[in-house]
Amino acid sequence: MKSCFIASLTPFHSVILKNRARFPSNLYYGSSRTSCCPYHQNSKLHSTSPMAADRYPPPWFSVAPMMEWTDNHYRTLARLISKKAWLYTEMLAAETIVYQTGNLDRFLAYGPEQHPIVLQIGGNKLENLAKATQLATPYGYDEINLNCGCPSPKVAGHGCFGVRLMLDPKLVAEAMSVIAANTNVPVSVKCRIGVDDHDSYNELCDFIYEVSSQSPTRHFIIHSRKALLNGISPKDNRRIPPLKYEYYYALLRDFPGLQFTINGGITSIEEVNAARSEGAHGVMLGRAAYGNPWQILGLVDSAVYGAPLRSITRRQVLEQYQVYGDSVLGMYGPRPTVREVVKPLLGLFHAEPRNVAWKRKVDAAFRHCTTIKSLFEETLGEIPDSVLDAPITEVPSGSTDKFIKAKSLLPSPYTIKEEELLYA
């Protein structure tokens, strides 16, 4: 990315340009409809159409893709609580899909109730991205997302993809064109606002402009922190770089033809609604939605989408989840285990009485319980009936001004060199 702009500047306006002629024709395989075996009796391949996403509510709220967290088990729990939130898979490396063609269901299959659902893939090799997308298409995901935001040393370091791709917007544009050519659903990019010293607003706009003008990408999920590739942990990369929501809101101003979802540092439904009231197209939460699913996901449908408040209780959610959990235990040899299936439930009683005692009992039960039913029977007595049987309650009234402040700090409008328009 360029660090600055010099000479011959033109204010940015919406431009849609595509140039696929430079790509090898074999990267455009076309949408595949090859048949695969269902991964179990309640989960099958889901046929979809280019307009499939129109059947679902808009992505005003989504749960971020998180490695080892947003797996099938978590997404099943999430959908039991919220019917409208958009769900993302964990990031799947394109190479994993390409080299596991005999075992695709393990990585790509999911229950039909999980719609709307987005598959996130990672990689930097165009041929593998094309083939992975073709292999994933019969599974009927509602959108394909490319990871351009993961700062993990394994991904952005040795892997040379994730957030490192932001340093090569031309490659990202090519990757998105290849992905789009091999699917019949929308494509999107999840990225940071910058990388190391490449963190100016103009550099972020360079990235957005080149990817959107050179590919069919119209949706960007913006993690409102830059990434540091100096060896710090992913956890520190979520904490040390400051949040700059003003960059996000400036993108709304400067790219009115695109869709942007804001991500990073948002931890409550009040903040979700505050971001949207200031113009955010969509809001994505990660760890807050995982660590406290009842108080976050339980309020999404009513507080964000305006649906009637559901009367479901945690006891009812657990009864349904138990049926799912026991049906998938050991589906792939020794996995998933009881521990793996129960893991997403450990935040269900966040901040409730006896929560800590319950989790201690669950940990002990992992050593001998062989079914989800037996684990529940042994441990749920720790949770008061008043908690298990309490319905979801309305979101407390409140407001936050962090997004109002951000809009008062907007950087200068983006400008683009005329020669970039000519050679785009």
Asked if residues 26 and 268 have their Cβ atoms less than 8 Å apart, the reply is no
CA 337/CA 326 separation, integer angstroms: 10
Told to judge if 205 belongs to the known catalytic residues of this protein, a careful annotator would answer no
Measured between alpha carbons, how far is 13 from 193 in angstroms, rounded to an integer? 20
Q: C-alpha distances in angstroms, 205 versus 3, 13, 43, 47, 194?
A: 11, 12, 41, 36, 10
**Residue of 211, 212, 199, 190 lying closest to 256 (CA atoms):** 212
How many helices (H) and strands (E) would you count in the chain? 18, 10
The residue from 150, 191, 205, 369 that is catalytic is 150
DSSP assignment, residue 166?
Answer: G
- Amino acid at residue number 355: N
First to last CA, the chain: 14
Cβ pair 261, 62 in contact under 8 A: yes
Catalytic residues: 150
